[in-house]
Structure 1
């Protein structure tokens, strides 16, 4: 699990099976605590001369800090370092003079039971190249009189495609490779705002995806509340088994007003009535969250207070453990109203008022405009 790679301590793990050897194939498998079997098939084009299967074993506990992975606020804990069962593969070969020899193999990961058929490398590569060409055709052409800057723009457009996930709701940006290759509400929303000129399909896909994942109930473990926009969605073993709350974790104070900002800005660009009607219910629930749950003490500001024992303490853009302290270094423990979040809230209220007035709902528009004015005056 990626959280283990980052240094998360686990009380127990699933079972790593002995490698299975089938002619030119070695199969590695793991049965997780989430009751899911994950397999990795290594298929050799040239059959190995010898395959040796070795059982795993554990080394004595170590207290070595994972300093490169964990911030200093984490204390070192005994770590049981283990080596899982493995297979050693070798070939006895006679090389002819001046004649190259390739040993080619493919790796096919799969999750769950049953037979998983994977296309060949060449077929997958062709499909991937086609998808990049299709992506480029759907983007605006940005060109200047500076060739170096043009190359920078082109590289950036292709790099952005690398970070985009094609979901049933449309294109959604992920946060970053390798540790954050999943949807983060804040990151996806800001990226969508900044790329409306390039390709508005990113914005529409993100709006639809986050509306589908919007909070529906009060659940402290997930920091979930009705109308709140999700912070992070993970699909690994630890999330699926409930060890961590990240299967759909809502510990972000700014994603909800950012959702409203993206909705209103997308309507400025597209003025798509069908999209407006589709996303409007989620937008209204987001407004209700800002009023009923985001403002914890009734002072008009949007605040946060982490309730999940497995969640994030600081829930703004800088969400590391030591990011918010008093001048003497003491961590801030009470409710927190971040300055930039009030700016997001003001723009969300103002822009929603403008949009709803344009769509003929003057009564709600006036109420939102008044709330925005009060927030600005009090700020």
Structure 2
């Protein structure tokens, strides 16, 4: 960690840092994930984020394979397409003992197969002798466990910690243990299976003899556990089968997409695999954890937006998100957790620091937008699926969310939803741009007081309209009329107070004195998505979003070039976030700007083509696009990140004008458009209720045509062009 320091939410690098040259491999299953280098090791370079983590704690901080005390040479490092297994192919350099050559380069092949399942990392190491003589050599695994909370790994200082306990060693295993200040004992058991081996508190040594052409496989497991949650050990093959069963179920439930463009297919497949990996089964159903490494935990806003992005291809994920959020909806006042009745949480954290209150995020509600977004998702889920039985189950939660918006969310009763943190250790800014300096005025001064974010007012507008639709279904017509009246009033008031004609867009926020923060921003695209923008402003707003100061050719900048705080390398003040661009595209599509929407899809597709594995990161830098050059990466961005992975599906849905009306048993494609790089797109297993369709859309010179290849059940397909 000597090459990087953190000050507030900003990261700074020493000039000699190698972080930007390093690449990691990521495995995740449930509440456990691993960040490994390309050799499959956990090294101590760069940010020091590598490790095996379980429930918010790093259970393995060093893991290094040596052959005759030398690090092997990398041949290949590949992740299975579904992200389940990491395969690393290795050999050795020439290895000498004194003047004697004992291992010649390229004669020994080592293949590592690594998977995580059920809080255990399984590694099989297959060794093959390709020489014409017997080989005798030593395999060594170095290991250590620092049991640091993930917030410590990120840079948070702790004045005191728990105690590392003596390592328990026997003939084939080592048990590394730590008792935290929360009095929970966490342990990492390293079990090595070899023929001739010795195990100590820091390393395992295995002596190997191979005849010409002979192979041998060493099996190692790393089990993460605490004294409250036991783990079940399996063989690696059994672990692979368990993970495969989950993947098969995920794939059976979802809609499959294929296009004429193989690179575009690679982007779709990688995004699908990332979503599968990030999704954890919870007692309430599947939930997409936000991102690896720093956000591998439930986040309210991230989970909802990921669910909205993927609702059309995988509605079961949205159901799991809604059920989880309903079960964790706040029921009491707690200023430390910023909890208020009816509010949807921001994030939930496991780990020692959360349990002790050293960070406020154990079950933290400091977010202003998750609550209206919860209502929006619930309504969209119903229109997509017609699942009235589930909607009835969470109807009380929806009503509580609306009640929070009107009460705790609007303390001065001016009709705008606003926030001001209650806990000094909590988040100062509580929208999706939650850096301390992300909400500011045109003169560069930070906004102070209770903040009313622009996009949040749009979310409230959409939430009240959608809640009114649902209220009518449940026979609460008087309340439905009231909600619609409130939404209409909000739309009028919002357009009057937030529109800034001099910059051709809406202010990013009103400060505590109700003064507009008149800076050009990407949040305005979210307003189009919600429908709160009056028609007289739509054209100008669309032009502002797509001008060269805001759209850089890759995506929409969070803050436009030319604003005083614009910095393309910042977290929220000039960078580009794929999910943000996808929401802007959905907004443009809503108002009929299909051409602009398609340009955003092309921009993000081009980004994916420059990136290894076609994996979009959490964000990247907002520098101008230069033809023939890749976008500039943000050094500490999470990858994979759930709502970055989900972006391709929202972008596609927007370009296709795809809408669902379950009450009419109707699926509509309104003014669909495909970019030149895609001649056709095939959509299979698109379900609505008991009905299923397969269809193909083809690009023609002036429009897009559609063939329905299969239709089972009662559903109507409508193409509007």
TM-score bracket relative to the smaller structure? 0.7 to 0.9
- For the Cα contact (< 8 Å) 2:195–2:207, is it kept in 1? no
Count of aligned residue pairs for this structure pair:
346
Contact 2:173 2:199 in 1 (8 A): no
Secondary structure of 2:224's aligned partner: strand
Q: Do the aligned partners of residues 143 and 241 (structure 1) sit closer, same or farther apart at CA in structure 2, a change above 3 Å counting?
A: same
Counterpart Cα distance in 2 of 1:99 and 1:265: 59
Q: CA deviation at 1:92?
A: 5.3
d(CA) in 2 for partners of 1:52, 1:142: 51
Question: 1: CA distance between counterparts of 2:212 and 2:394?
Answer: 67
**Distance in 1 between the 2:208 and 2:372 partners?**
64
- CA offsets, 1:271-305, max 9 Å, x none? 22211211110000000100001112111000010
Which residue pairs with 1:23 in the alignment?
Answer: 171
Name 1:204's counterpart in structure 2. 319
Conserved 8 A contact 2:167-2:174: yes
The structure with more strand, counted as a fraction of residues: 2
1:116-155 aligned within 5 A: 116-155=231-270
The 3-state SS of whatever aligns with 1:175 is: coil
1:228 to 335, 339, 343: 343
Q: Does the CA contact (< 8 Å) of 2:280 and 2:289 recur in 1?
A: yes
**What is aligned with 1:84?**
none
Gaps of 5+ in 1: 54-86
Secondary structure of residue in 1 paired with 2:155? coil
Higher mean C-alpha deviation, range 165-174 or range 89-98: 89-98
Q: Alpha carbons of 1:48 and 1:41: their partners in 2 closer, same or farther (altered >3 Å)?
A: farther
1:278 is the counterpart of 2:393: yes
Aligned to 1:172, what secondary structure does the other structure show? strand
Structure-1 residue corresponding to 2:445:
330
Deviations 1:187-209 (A, max 9, x none): 10011111111011011111110
Distance in 2, matches of 1:127 and 1:49, equals 30
Task: Please name the residue that 2:287 is paired with.
Answer: 172
The 4+ residue runs of structure 1 with deviation greater than 4 A are: 47-53, 91-103
Q: Tell me whether 1:88 sits opposite 2:210 in the alignment.
A: no
Higher percent of residues as helix: 1
Question: In structure 2, what is the Cα distance between the partners aligned to 1:46 and 1:33?
Answer: 36
- Asked whether 1:300 is paired with 2:415, we answer yes
- Structure 1's 101 and 113: CA in aligned 2 closer, same or farther, altered over 3 A? same
Q: Any conservation in 2 of the 1:24–1:47 contact (CA below 8 Å)?
A: no
Deviates more, 1:338-347 or 1:316-325: 316-325
Pair 124,293 (structure 1): closer, same or farther in 2 beyond 3 Å: same
Q: CA separation in 2, counterparts of 1:88 and 1:163?
A: 31
Q: 2:424 aligns with which of 309, 312, 317?
A: 309
Deviation at 1:116, TM superposition (A): 3.8
TM-score, length-normalised on structure 1? 0.86
CA distance in 2, matches of 1:184, 1:131: 22
Gaps of 5+ in 2: 1-148, 495-721
The CA deviation at 1:133 is: 1.4
Bigger Rg, structure 1 or 2: 2
Does the 8 A contact of 1:144 with 1:150 survive in 2? yes
After superposition, the Cα gap between the structure-2 partners of 1:205 and 1:38, relative to the gap in structure 1 and judged at 3 Å, is: same
By how many angstroms is 1:360 displaced? Answer: 1.9
Say if 1:271 and 1:50 are closer, same or farther in 2 by CA, change over 3 A: closer
With structure 2 as the length reference, what TM-score do the two structures score? 0.46
Shift of 1:160: 1.1
Q: CA deviation at 1:370?
A: 1.1
Q: What is the SS of the residue equivalent to 1:104?
A: strand
* Residue 308 to residue 27, structure 1, CA distance change in 2 (3 Å): same
Matched, 1:251 2:366: yes
Residues 20 and 345 of structure 1, relative CA distance in 2, 3 Å threshold: same
Q: Given the alignment of the two structures, is residue 40 of structure 1 paired with residue 40 of structure 2, yes or no?
A: no
* More displaced stretch, 31-40 vs 149-158: 149-158
d(CA) in 1 for partners of 2:469, 2:231: 51
Sort the Cα spacing of 1:49 and 1:200 in 2 relative to 1 into closer, same or farther, 3 A: closer
In the alignment, is the contact (CA less than 8 A) between 2:172 and 2:198 conserved in 1?
no
Supply the distance in 1 between the matched residues of 2:286 and 2:303 (Cα, whole angstroms). Answer: 10
Written as runs of structure 1 = structure 2, the 5 A alignment for 1:61-72 is none
Residue deviations 1:237-284, cap 9 Å, x none?
111222212111001100000000001111111222211211110000
> Aligned to 1:305, what secondary structure does the other structure show?
coil
- Measured after TM superposition, the shift of residue 114 of structure 1 is 8.1
What secondary structure, in the 3-state scheme, does the structure 1 residue paired with 2:191 have? strand
Q: Provide the rounded CA distance (Å) in 2 between the counterparts of 1:48 and 1:214.
A: 55
CA contact under 8 A between 1:229 and 1:255: conserved in structure 2? yes
1:140 Cα shift?
1.1
The yes-or-no answer on 1:266 pairing with 2:381 is yes
Residues 175-225 of structure 1: per-residue CA shift (max 9 Å, x gap): 111111111100100111111110110111111100000011111110111
Residue 288 and residue 119 in structure 1: after superposition, are their counterparts in 2 closer, same or farther (change >3 A)?
same
2:153 matched to 1:8?
no
Deviations 1:26-61 (A, max 9, x none): 0001111222111100001026654444xxxxxxxx
Distance 1:116 1:206, change over 3 A: closer
Shift in alpha-carbon separation, 1:117–1:309, aligned structure 2, 3 A: same
Q: 1:128 to 1:225 in 2, by over 3 A?
A: same
Q: 1:100 offset after TM fit, Å?
A: 5.2
